[in-house]
Amino acid sequence: MKVIFLGTNGWYDTETGNTTCILIETDKEFIILDAGNGFYKIDKYIKSKKPIYLFLSHYHLDHISGLHILNKFNFSQGIKIYGPPNLKKAINTIIKQPYSMPLKQLKTDITLYNIDKKIKFPVNVEYKELSHTALCYGYRFYLENKVISYCPDTAMCDNLFLLAKNAGLLITECSYKVNKDVKSWPHLNPQKAAYLAKKSNAKKLLLVHFDPNIYKTLKERKEAQIIASKVFKNTVAASDNLSVKI
C-alpha cells in the first residue's frame, strides 16, 4: 500500500506546495483524502481502472478548490465522493457555471454521497467529528490489515484519540508553529500533533496542512519535525510528492 502526498499546504498554494490532497493506493482501490489544489496530480498516479473514492473532510475552499479541475480527467470508472452533510449543496454551488463546468458535463462520472448514520461505505472506514470552525470529519481507514488515520483541521479533542488509536499511519495537520494556539481558529502545532501520536500509540506520524503564512519554507517544516520528534520519534513533516509505503 502506498500513500502519496499531492498537496501539503493549508489555506493557499505557495512554492512550498499545493493545498491539501492525499492519495492512498491499495490493491483494490484508490482513496483520495480531500481535494485541495494538489488534486490536479491524481492522474499521474491513477493508471488502472480500480475504483476511485474521494473523502472530503469539510468544505473550506483549501480542501475542495481542486474540484474545479475535474474536467481534466477521463476516468472510466468514475469517482465517488463522500463528505459531511450538505455535500451535494456545497459541491453544486461551486462546480457549476459560471464558476466551473457542471458535474453533468464532465467526462468522468461523479457520484455524491452525504455521510450519515445510514450510509454504507465501499471501504472499511470510520468517521468522527473534529473540533473546527466548520463541521469537519476525520477518518480512520482499515486497509490491508493496517490502519490509516486522517485528522485534518482541528483543535485537540477526544475524537482525535479515537481516530488515531494504534494507527499504523497517523496523518494530521500542523498549521501552527511551536506553542502557538488560537482558540478562535482551532488547529494543531507540532507538540500537540506529536502528543496525539504518542498517547494514541500510533506507529508513524505524518504532518500536513502547514499554514503557508506561518511556514514559509520547507526548512521551517523540518524544524517542526525536529520539535515533534522529541515527543514522538517517528515523525515526518510531509512535502508535496512524498510517497510512503506501509
Decide if pLDDT at 114 tops 90.
Answer: yes
Decide if pLDDT at 153 tops 90.
Answer: yes
Give every CB contact of residue 180 below 8 A, 6+ residues apart in sequence: 189, 214
Give every CB contact of residue 159 below 8 A, 6+ residues apart in sequence: 128, 129, 130, 131, 138
Beta bridge partners of 159: none
Measured distance CA(58)–CA(90) in Å, rounded: 10
Decide if pLDDT at 180 tops 90.
Answer: no
* Predicted confidence band of residue 121 (pLDDT cuts 50, 70, 90): very high
* Predicted confidence band of residue 179 (pLDDT cuts 50, 70, 90): confident
pLDDT at 104: 95
pLDDT at 166: 98
Residue ranges and CATH numbers for the domains of the chain are 2-245 (3.60.15.10)
Decide if pLDDT at 165 tops 90.
Answer: yes
Beta bridge partners of 202: none
User: Mean pLDDT, the chain, as a whole number?
Assistant: 97
- The string of pLDDT tens digits covering residues 87-102 is 999 999 999 999 999 9
- Stretch 28-34: mean pLDDT: 99
